[in-house]
């Protein structure tokens, strides 16, 4: 075994760990169902900010924050991406604890396809015919769910849209993922602290003691569950081909979907199943095309 192969295996296992952690997130947030969703998000921001700041101080010293502030355009972009990811976190946690895990998983299934559409709008990228076909089939699946299942899948589209916009901003922002996350957390930190203090002083919970030691510990550890997969992903993406990462990203929504159906027993009748299958067909076409183009690029 060569050193490069060893690094590839290490990167692959770390990437898999990140996606599995993301896939198991509904089970974790469900343990905090007694806590209002906005308070969970505030704690997630607070403890993620603490963990990432300590990591950056240890690995890069105290200058990382000043280096971003010195670039106003970069700071503005990361402020916007911080707001996008904050909205995404809040909506996802609310959806999980309100019984919408299956629809949330749909959002992360269609996110890769929405990313290519966003790329055409903001980055002037061009879609090939196969990608356009995937997008059209996905749109047909969404329309089916809207008119036959009886409700517009707004949670899925809002999750995919907020994460898609987050992705395009981070693609344009010249900063590594961990440093960017640290700044995004700092943007959200003051509003999160202010909200927790307000809830605490008004007697509606906030910091600790309201729900017991176990829930308090889970709230703190939620920050680690926010930061660790992102740090692991940033490590793995430098060692694993992007085509492989692109296929592995479906691990998380698949696990979330199975948790919603098999563990939380959410409704998944024939009409909803048809809509999901149509979207999965689109994803299979998209994934196959991405893998084919990646292999052709590597061979050339």
Q: Is the pLDDT of residue 229 over 80?
A: yes
Scored b (16 or more CB within 10 A) or e, 13-45 reads ebbeebbebbbebbeebbebeebbbebbbbbbb
User: Has residue 22 been placed in a domain?
Assistant: yes
In a domain, 280, yes or no: no
| Confidence label for 8 from pLDDT (cuts 50, 70 and 90) | low
Which structural domain, as residue segments, surrounds residue 263? 3-123+149-269
Instruction: Please count the other Cβ atoms lying within 10 Å of the Cβ belonging to residue 58.
Output: 8
The answer as to whether 132 is a domain residue is no
pLDDT at 234 over 80: no
Is 294 within a domain?
Answer: no
pLDDT of the residue at 26: 92
Alpha helices (runs of H) in the chain, residue ranges in sequence order: 3-30, 37-60, 64-69, 72-97, 101-122, 129-144, 154-172, 177-201, 213-236, 242-248, 251-258, 270-299
φ/ψ region of 209 (left if φ > 0, alpha if ψ in -120 to 50, else beta) reads: left
The answer as to whether 107 is a domain residue is yes
C-alpha dihedral sign at 287, 290, 296, 299: negative
Is residue 287 scored above 50 in pLDDT? yes
Total domains present in the chain: 1
Question: In this structure, is residue 292 part of a structural domain?
Answer: no
pLDDT per position as a tens digit, 20-67: 998 999 999 999 888 888 889 999 999 999 888 888 888 888 888 888
């Amino acid at each position: 075994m060569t050193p490069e192969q060893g690094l590839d295996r290490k990167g692959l296992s770390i990437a898999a760990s990140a996606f599995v952690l993301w896939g198991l997130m509904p089970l974790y947030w469900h343990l905090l169902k007694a806590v209002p969703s906005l308070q969970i998000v505030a704690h997630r921001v607070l403890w993620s900010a603490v963990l990432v700041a300590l990591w950056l101080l240890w690995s890069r010293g105290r200058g990382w924050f000043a280096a971003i502030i010195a670039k106003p355009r970069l700071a503005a972009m990361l402020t916007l991406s911080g707001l996008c990811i904050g909205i995404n976190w809040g909506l996802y946690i609310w959806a999980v604890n309100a019984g919408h895990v299956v629809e949330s998983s749909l959002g992360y299934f269609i996110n890769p396809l929405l990313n290519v559409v966003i790329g055409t709008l903001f980055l002037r990228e061009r879609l090939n015919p196969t990608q356009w076909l995937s997008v059209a089939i996905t749109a047909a699946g969404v329309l089916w769910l809207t008119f036959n299942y009886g409700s517009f899948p707004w949670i899925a589209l809002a999750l995919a849209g907020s994460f898609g916009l987050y992705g395009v901003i981070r693609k344009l922002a010249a900063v590594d993922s961990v440093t960017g996350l640290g700044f995004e957390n700092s943007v959200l930190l003051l509003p999160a602290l202010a909200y927790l203090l307000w809830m605490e002083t008004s007697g509606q919970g906030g910091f600790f003691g309201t729900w017991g030691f176990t829930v308090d510990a889970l709230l703190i550890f939620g920050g680690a569950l926010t930061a660790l997969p992102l740090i692991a992903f940033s490590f793995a993406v430098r060692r694993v081909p992007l085509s492989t990462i692109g296929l592995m990203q479906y691990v998380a929504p698949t696990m979330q979907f199975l948790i919603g159906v098999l563990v939380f027993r959410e409704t998944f009748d024939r009409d909803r199943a048809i809509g999901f299958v149509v979207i999965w067909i689109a994803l299979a076409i998209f994934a196959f095309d991405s893998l084919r183009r990646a292999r052709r690029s590597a061979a050339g």
